[in-house]
């Protein structure tokens, strides 16, 4: 039996779904375009938000297959980004100390860097996990 990596958490996905009308769970599962649409349309007029309650298990499975597991935990990274992103703690957690300090001093690089990280954090963690594995 082949076990698949469990890079993302369904529990965290459902907790973020509570705020999902702002797209947070979609960003977490690596869907930045629809996350942005949900953000600007309040969960696609709440209809998409309700439907997502039933789609989270499949979004979780897709994320588990898409992103590389490793030393850096996706859930920890996303919690740090979501609640302390302007302080750069998520970047420091990934070992990106210089940009973490820059975020700390500039409020997430004037919030533009924070938006960039919402779009790319899964890929950043996946890349860092790949680097850690090969070193």
The confidence score (pLDDT) of residue 108 equals 94
CA 79 to chain centre: 8
Q: How many domains, the chain?
A: 2
Q: Are residues 78 and 130 in the same domain?
A: yes
Q: Last residue of some domain: 22, 46, 66? A: 66
Domain that holds residue 37: 10-66
Q: Per-residue confidence at 1, pLDDT binned at 50, 70, 90?
A: low
Q: What is the pLDDT of residue 132?
A: 76
pTM for this predicted structure: 0.90
Buried b vs exposed e over 64-103: b needs ≥16 C-beta within 10 Å?
A: beebbbbebbbbebbbbbbebbbbbbbbbbbebeeebeeb
pLDDT tens figures, 6-46: 999 999 999 999 987 789 999 999 999 999 999 999 999 99
For the chain, percent of residues with pLDDT exceeding 70 = 96
Whether 26 is in a domain gets the answer: yes
Q: Kindly state whether residues 32 and 82 are assigned to the same domain.
A: no
Cα 68 to Cα 21, 23, 59, 85, 93: the distances in Å are: 27, 23, 15, 22, 17
The verdict on residue 3 lying in a domain is: no
């Amino acid at each position: 039996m082949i076990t698949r990596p469990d890079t993302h958490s369904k529990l965290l996905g459902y907790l973020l779904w509570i705020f999902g009308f702002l797209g947070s769970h979609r960003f977490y599962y690596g869907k930045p375009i629809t996350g942005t649409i949900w953000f600007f349309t309040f969960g696609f007029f709440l209809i998409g938000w309700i439907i997502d309650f039933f789609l989270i298990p499949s979004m979780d499975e897709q994320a588990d297959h898409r992103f590389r597991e490793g030393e850096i935990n996706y859930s920890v990274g996303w919690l740090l980004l979501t609640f302390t992103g302007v302080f750069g703690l998520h970047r420091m957690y990934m070992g990106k100390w210089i940009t973490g300090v820059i975020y700390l001093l500039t409020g997430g690089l004037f919030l533009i860097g924070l938006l960039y990280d919402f779009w790319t954090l899964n890929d950043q963690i996946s890349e860092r996990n790949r680097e850690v594995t090969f070193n």
